[in-house]
Amino acid sequence: METLALPPQATQVGLAVDVAAFAMHGGELQVLLVQRGELPHARDWALPGGFVHPGEDLHEAALRELRTETSVTLEPRHLEQFYTFGAPGRDPRGRIVSVAHLAVLAHGTVDVTGGGHTLGAGWFPAHRPPALAFDHAAILARALGRLRVRLDYAHLALEFLPDTFTLPELQRVHEAILDRPLDKRNFRKRLLAQGLLVPSGERRSGVGRPAQLYRRAKGAKAAAL
Amino acid sequence: METLALPPQATQVGLAVDVAAFAMHGGELQVLLVQRGELPHARDWALPGGFVHPGEDLHEAALRELRTETSVTLEPRHLEQFYTFGAPGRDPRGRIVSVAHLAVLAHGTVDVTGGGHTLGAGWFPAHRPPALAFDHAAILARALGRLRVRLDYAHLALEFLPDTFTLPELQRVHEAILDRPLDKRNFRKRLLAQGLLVPSGERRSGVGRPAQLYRRAKGAKAAAL
DNA sequence: ACAAAAGTGTTAAACCTACACCCATGT
DNA sequence: ACATGGGTGTAGGTTTAACACTTTTGT
């Protein structure tokens, strides 16, 4: 079987992955961007990404690009392919098809620096990003849409937080992703009714009344897509 | 810009599209399959698909493969990319990445014959398909999942029917996609409450009381994804 | 007249939304 | 004591699910 040849009509294209990686910082939803060091679009900001290696899975490639183009070394809490961008003119270097991925990074993934052939890396407000290279603005917009859908559905909001967290913190994650305020009482009722959260100790924040800490209930895994 | 070269690390892969095309026949949800005429998997059934041409959009490629591998000449009523399959070992001929598409064909698209290098084409029960080539069983399973999600959401069920249709016919589409029975009264209430359907003339079916015909309300376009 | 499929309403439970005040802590 | 943010309940409207009989036609 290994000896079968590709048929002649098989278009060869460059295969890339791009990653829209999100995290919460300062109560805001932020997206991780890198500053390109090479043409085309040198010095422009872009989503981390690059070419898939031979024999490498798409998922692995996305993980690798995240690690090598930024200083992020921990595994993302969530990584999911969400759309493939393949319009013929999208990259001036030729036919390059990019499989876009959505990643959620653990809380505390703050320090990012460039790696590989990037000039730097940084966090930017996900809903108000700077100008982006290629068609990355469209990719980011679609990533945000997918993130919104996943909120209800799976328990993806928890992946933005440490193992233990307070309900107000979780609410801020939801609000940041939806980009609108939510009612505190209704939010609590809904989340606690789902039975995925169990209380633990107590905690004092810097200011105000201390909040109850929760962790995800054992045996609560994210729903299938 | 056109003169920029692909960087050396750009893996070249074969780029393909596969199409899971659905229609209703005999009250059942059916999927369109072709019988392969070439190695690998000669004589096995597979989703229609093939290599993207240079300069061709993914969407166009999916339309073309549908036309040339089967006798389907009308535009699909719906065509949407839903997932990209790129595991290194999925095709014995080498690294081939397939962007999978979901299509809905108009009611009455019955006669299908093979084209191109296929031995034939035919309709099969979508929920109980025959053995399929490559990883096409996984592709089909995911297509069915997406179809289910789109039911609620957009008004995709209407695309399975002719311009005018009865409510029991529409209900059968929903039931076929969900693969479970629905309550007649609740179904009607829900659908009519959406205000997307307007009644027209009357119609007699072969047997039993004739059913009211409906058409989609003017100005009701499918919701965005 | 009978067989076959279309059509029709009500009720209970669950869910969603809006809304305002008291509580526990640090300074 | 006061500023800060955490925590709590209720009522109205909407949505969902379960459920059985009558109507219209063709044979």
pLDDT category, B117, cuts 50, 70, 90?
A: confident
Highest mean pLDDT among A72-76, A142-146, B152-156: A142-146
Q: Read off the CATH number of the domain in which B190 is found.
A: 1.10.10.10
Residues of chain B neighbouring A145 (CB-CB closer than 8 A): 225
Q: Has residue A79 been placed in a domain?
A: yes
Q: Which is nearest to B57 in space by CA: B101, B90, B10, B114?
A: B101
Residue A117 pLDDT > 80: yes
Please tell me whether residues A166 and A62 are part of one structural domain.
Answer: no
Q: Does residue A210 reach within 7 angstroms of strand D, measured from its CB?
A: yes
Out of A108, A128, A153, pick the residue that ends a domain.
A153
Residue B151 identity: L
Please tell me whether residues B101 and B55 are part of one structural domain.
Answer: yes
Residue A194 lies in domain: 157-216
Q: Has residue A222 been placed in a domain?
A: no
Distance CA B94, CA B134 (A): 12
Residue A132: φ, ψ to 5°: -120, 155
Please tell me whether residues A135 and A197 are part of one structural domain.
Answer: no
Please tell me whether residues B39 and B100 are part of one structural domain.
Answer: yes
In chain B, pLDDT over 90 holds for what percent of residues? 76
What are the C-alpha distances in Å from A21 to residues A49, A62, A98, A100, B83?
Answer: 11, 10, 15, 11, 19
Q: Has residue B97 been placed in a domain?
A: yes
Angle, helices B167-178/B184-193, rounded to nearest 10 degrees: 110
Please tell me whether residues A162 and A175 are part of one structural domain.
Answer: yes
Q: Read off the CATH number of the domain in which A28 is found.
A: 3.90.79.10
Residues of chain B neighbouring A11 (CB-CB closer than 8 A): 14-15, 51-54, 56
- pLDDT per residue as tens digits for the range B152-194: 876 899 999 999 999 999 999 999 999 999 999 999 999 999 9
Residues 6+ apart with CB under 8 A from B76: B21, B63, B66, B103, B104, B105, B106
Q: Is A32 in contact with B123 (CB distance < 8 Å)?
A: no
Q: Has residue B1 been placed in a domain?
A: no
Say how far A181 CA is from C18 C1', in Å: 14
Q: Has residue B9 been placed in a domain?
A: no
Distance CA A51, CA B83 (A): 19
Q: Whose CA is nearest the C1' atom of nucleotide D5? A: A208
Q: Nearest residue of A to residue B57 by CA position?
A: A87
In chain A, pLDDT over 90 holds for what percent of residues? 74
Q: Has residue B2 been placed in a domain?
A: no
Question: Would you give the DSSP letter of residue A181?
Answer: -
Number of Cα atoms under 13 Å in the Cβ half of residue B34: 28
Please tell me whether residues B82 and B116 are part of one structural domain.
Answer: yes
Out of B153, B183, B199, pick the residue that ends a domain.
B153
Please tell me whether residues A119 and A19 are part of one structural domain.
Answer: yes
CA B64, B70, B74, B75 torsion-angle sign: negative
Residue A222 pLDDT > 60: no
Please tell me whether residues B179 and B148 are part of one structural domain.
Answer: no
CB contact under 8 A, B4 and A92: yes
Average pLDDT of chain A, as a whole number: 91
Q: Is B114 in contact with B34 (CB distance < 8 Å)?
A: yes
- CB of B94 within 8 Å of any CB in chain A? yes
- CB of B9 within 8 Å of any CB in chain A? yes
Please tell me whether residues B106 and B149 are part of one structural domain.
Answer: yes
CA A113, A117, A118, A119 torsion-angle sign: positive
User: What is the predicted pLDDT for the residue at A123?
Assistant: 95
Q: Has residue B221 been placed in a domain?
A: no
- CB of A4 within 8 Å of any CB in chain B? yes
- pLDDT per residue as tens digits for the range B10-41: 778 999 999 999 999 989 999 999 999 998 99
Please tell me whether residues A142 and A55 are part of one structural domain.
Answer: yes
Q: Annotate B35-51 with DSSP letters as a single string.
A: EE-SSSSTT-EE-SEEE
Q: Has residue B225 been placed in a domain?
A: no
Please tell me whether residues B61 and B123 are part of one structural domain.
Answer: yes
User: What is the predicted pLDDT for the residue at A113?
Assistant: 79
Q: Nearest residue of B to residue A14 by CA position?
A: B12
Please tell me whether residues B29 and B78 are part of one structural domain.
Answer: yes
User: What is the predicted pLDDT for the residue at A116?
Assistant: 74
| DSSP H or E run through A203 | strand A197-203
User: What is the predicted pLDDT for the residue at B225?
Assistant: 58
User: What is the predicted pLDDT for the residue at B167?
Assistant: 96
Q: Which is nearest to B15 in space by CA: A112, A14, A214?
A: A14
Out of A116, A137, A153, pick the residue that ends a domain.
A153
Domain count for chain A: 2
